[in-house]
Amino acid sequence: MEKPSQDYDSDKKDMTSDFNEAKFQIYRLHILWLSCNALAQEGKLLEWKWKLDTIWRELSPDAISKDKGKENNTKETYTYRMKVLNGKIAEAQGNNAIYNAIQEKEIFLRCLQEEVGKGSKKSYEDEEDFEE
């Protein structure tokens, strides 16, 4: 049997590294989302916003990558939409308005996580179930 080439070994290490990093990022996001739920329920609005900012930092490289090819500062880009949401939070008056603005940011980030493929796994009726 032939020994695998060095390129194969290198590619395999890169794939393993990418897989591990993705797994760890999803785990980090999970922990952050748990924290967001607790902070929102406790009414700790500023801490909740900061936690969402941390989630944005986790997802922003993917958002920026998806934004490539789109015109900067258009309503279509994730980075522009995040700036708008942060502006809504900054301008909100009163706890209810602030809560609603932060909640809108959280929903946006959860959708972004799904759109970049770091959310839940989707299964379809026509897929075969291999876990029987």
Nearest to 103 by CA among 59, 54, 39, 32: 39
| Residue 2 is assigned to a structural domain of this protein | no
| Residue 50 is assigned to a structural domain of this protein | yes
Q: Per residue in 75-84, pLDDT tens?
A: 778 999 999 9
| Residue 130 is assigned to a structural domain of this protein | no
Question: Can you tell me the distance from the alpha carbon of 33 to that of 41, in angstroms, rounded to the nearest whole number?
Answer: 12
102 within 8 A of 89, measured Cβ to Cβ: yes
Residue 63 has phi, psi (to 5 degrees) of -65, -45
| Residue 120 is assigned to a structural domain of this protein | no
Greater pLDDT, 11 or 46: 46
| Residue 123 is assigned to a structural domain of this protein | no
What total of structural domains would you count in the chain?
A: 1
| Residue 122 is assigned to a structural domain of this protein | no
What does the block give as tokens for 118? Answer: 């770091």
What does the block give as tokens for 62? Answer: 């993917």
| Residue 129 is assigned to a structural domain of this protein | no
Can you give the residue range of the structural domain that contains 44? 8-115
Question: Can you tell me the distance from the alpha carbon of 84 to that of 90, in angstroms, rounded to the nearest whole number?
Answer: 10
Terminal-to-terminal C-alpha distance of the chain: 34
| Residue 132 is assigned to a structural domain of this protein | no
Q: Per residue in 33-76, pLDDT tens?
A: 999 999 999 999 999 999 999 999 999 998 988 888 776 667 77
* pTM value > 0.85: no
H or E segment at 4? none
